[in-house]
Structure 1
Amino acid sequence: MNPRIPRDFVLPDPAAVHTVRSADGAELNVEEYGPDGAPLIVLAHGWTCATAFWAPVVNRLVADFRVVAYDQRGHGRSPAPAGPAGYSTAKLAEDLEAVLTATVPAGRRAVVAGHSMGGMTIMAAGGRPAVAARTAANVLVNTGPSALLDELMVLPPAVRGPRRFLHRQILRSRLPLGPVNGISRAVLKYATMGPATPADRVEGCAQIVHACPSGVRFHWAGVLETLDVHAGLARLTAPTAVVAGSHDKLTPPVHARRIAAELPNPCGLLELAGAGHMSPVERPADVAGEIRRIAALVADQLSAPAPEAAPGAVVPAPATVPGAAGPAETAVPESVRNTPVEESA
């Protein structure tokens, strides 16, 4: 019997779902959760994931924040690019800029958090005026700026000579992952999660990863193989926190330490003992807590601007935002919002 997926893997009902067009016309599925007018959090997921990957974190933030999450191109409900030219770090940066421009109102800023390729997206967008103008702070989770193949730890250190070659073959495989089963769960857990991760959380993560089309997985793996976003990292002037997992085999903590050392405005390095690469689903309370900590530090930038009052008018006090409902009670089916679209040829 398959493990039951945890309740917090169910996204709350979205307050809004819409499509945002990027600079090259690519369509991005964007979902918003939480009270309108609340402080803004924008989430960018990683390679082979989707908006649903953030569900455990969203459920811990939604009562107090307006949370925006979007499917990276080719993932979830965002269509795949028509050809290889649609896959690059520049495209990731353009997509983030488009999402921020569409969802962060003029005069407001958001805390922008990115996991894995989502963190690379934030670094790639470093220095873009439209992004900087809408960003109060960043949180970079389980990510790296370059040399990803050189630091991979999926294969044991005893595999010396062909280790980099074999890592490349694993990441750039075109083979479909197929249905989730006991073997695939065990492989995913070994490669991407901490050894103590419960079976139900492995199952929830596996369903998301297996939904990524193999062609999309392949093309983004090619981008990650030659990744170098140090230039953008050096231009991240907003306060930026870094989160790492002590057992992360894909972006080991050495990456987090390099990022923290290069940041113009570092705001803490949190290493989660026992966590692997999938911290937002392995340790969602810790990741949400770090996002809350950073949001508190820049709270003055996250507040909505006060309305302009006519001379002599009395401005009413803002209404109290009621608490949002907790995670849905139902078990997780194949969520409609996470069903991948058919990829382009």
Structure 2
Amino acid sequence: MSARTTGPARRAGLTGAYAPPAPDRELVARSGDGIRFPVEVYGRDDAPAVVLTHGWTCNTHFWAPVIRDLTASGYRVVAYDQRGHGRSPAARTPKAYSTAMLADDLCAVLDAALEPGERAVIGGHSMGGMTIMAAADRPQLRERAAALLLCSTGAQHLTAEARVIPLRSARLRTAAHRLLLGAKAPLGPVTPLSRKALAYGTLGRRPRKETAEATARIVQACPTAVRAAWGGVLAELDVAVKVPRLDAPTAVIIGTHDRLTPVGHARQLAAMLPHCTGLHELPGRGHMTPLEEPGAVSAVLAELVRDHLAPVQKNAARSEKAEEIA
């Protein structure tokens, strides 16, 4: 894989471990409403596939350290920008944003990036995890998912259980978080004050300076109108009924200091999943676990590939070889 970074990454000021590598190739996915958006592919075409979907206000740059880890281990990584984020076109109207759109776009990516009959490990962070839950009934997910990762996410009651604004009154706390999610005020530019505020809300205790900087630059690149529109969807989110329908082996990751989706969400998901392979709690980490502990996230994804995808591919290869000999 190329070691060079993309032009947008340089303009965004992402450097070091957080500078995204250039994709080896790009595809185009077409969603249910006809919108076309780019899909990035990293690694060899014949390698086991991992599909990654990012969270609210992020983009594919968010996955840079994880992409490097996985491709270095010989895996293929597919990543895309959620609707309105990064290079993905915005919805035609703010009211068009919905969990159904999240599911539509993920299914379009699976159709575009995977060969007929090919399966993958699919991982989602925050709103990306909610995307996977929203797609639980979709045939593309059920047929394509060898295993799943739900990372720093929740299925319902986000505004009531968040602790970004730590008010004692549940009613006031819910109202305050609703206002925060739907806020239309610009976040930029990146300043020491804005960086510190975002670090408080999204990162764990004693975040590394470079992690706080990368978080601020990624989040503040999200268009204000898109951030507010998706924030409105998250404020009303309830996909809990779909969690038991995720019948693929599923791992759950959470930072114990996550203020946006506190650890109770992850424990609830682990209890509801029909085949939970493990609940991984990262001590002292916040909501941005793939930026804070990319090695831990990559290790869980790699374990899912080894346990649930690679053996299937080896058996299929043996079957094909036996047929050729016969």
Please say whether Structure 1 and Structure 2 have the same fold, judged by a TM-score greater than 0.5.
Answer: yes
Q: Distance in 1 between matches of 2:141 and 2:200?
A: 36
Select between 5-14 and 290-299 the one with higher mean Cα deviation.
Answer: 5-14
TM-superposed deviation, 1:102? 1.0
Residue in structure 2 matched with residue 83 of structure 1 by the alignment: 93
Residue in structure 2 matched with residue 322 of structure 1 by the alignment: none
TM-superposed deviation, 1:86? 2.4
CA spacing shift, 1:215–1:297, aligned 2, 3 Å? same
Q: For residues 175-232 of structure 1, what are the alpha-carbon distances to aligned partners after superposition, in whole Å with 9 as ceiling and x for unaligned?
A: 1112100000000000000122111111011111000000000010111011111222
Residue in structure 2 matched with residue 36 of structure 1 by the alignment: 45
Question: Which one of the candidate residues 289, 309, 312 is aligned to 1:301?
Answer: 312
Q: For residues 275-324 of structure 1, what are the alpha-carbon distances to aligned partners after superposition, in whole Å with 9 as ceiling and x for unaligned?
A: 0000000110011011111111112235595395798779xxxxxxxxxx
Q: Percent identity?
A: 49
CA spacing shift, 1:217–1:304, aligned 2, 3 Å? farther
Aligned length: 311
Residue in structure 2 matched with residue 16 of structure 1 by the alignment: 25
Are 2:95 and 2:229, in contact at CA under 8 Å, matched by a contact in 1?
no
- Does residue 52 (structure 1) correspond to residue 52 (structure 2)? The answer is no
Are 1:234 and 1:263, in contact at CA under 8 Å, matched by a contact in 2?
yes
Are 2:39 and 2:79, in contact at CA under 8 Å, matched by a contact in 1?
yes
Residue in structure 2 matched with residue 155 of structure 1 by the alignment: 165
Question: Which one of the candidate residues 90, 93, 96 is aligned to 2:103?
Answer: 93
TM-superposed deviation, 1:260? 0.5
**What residue identity is the alignment partner of 1:239?**
P
**What residue identity is the alignment partner of 1:125?**
A
Q: Distance in 2 between matches of 1:237 and 1:309?
A: 30
Select between 85-94 and 33-42 the one with higher mean Cα deviation.
Answer: 85-94
Q: CA RMSD in A?
A: 2.0
Unaligned 5+ segments in structure 2 are 1-12
- Structure with more contact order per residue of length (Cα contacts < 8 Å, sep ≥ 6): 1
Q: How does 1:92-111 map to 2 (within 5 A)?
A: 92-111=102-121
- Does residue 69 (structure 1) correspond to residue 84 (structure 2)? The answer is no
Q: For residues 103-149 of structure 1, what are the alpha-carbon distances to aligned partners after superposition, in whole Å with 9 as ceiling and x for unaligned?
A: 11112210000000000000010021121111100000000000000
Are 1:138 and 1:239, in contact at CA under 8 Å, matched by a contact in 2?
yes
TM-score, with structure 2 as normaliser: 0.91
CA spacing shift, 1:65–1:304, aligned 2, 3 Å? farther
Are 2:160 and 2:173, in contact at CA under 8 Å, matched by a contact in 1?
no
Question: Which one of the candidate residues 116, 136, 140 is aligned to 1:130?
Answer: 140
TM-score, with structure 1 as normaliser: 0.86
Are 1:37 and 1:304, in contact at CA under 8 Å, matched by a contact in 2?
no
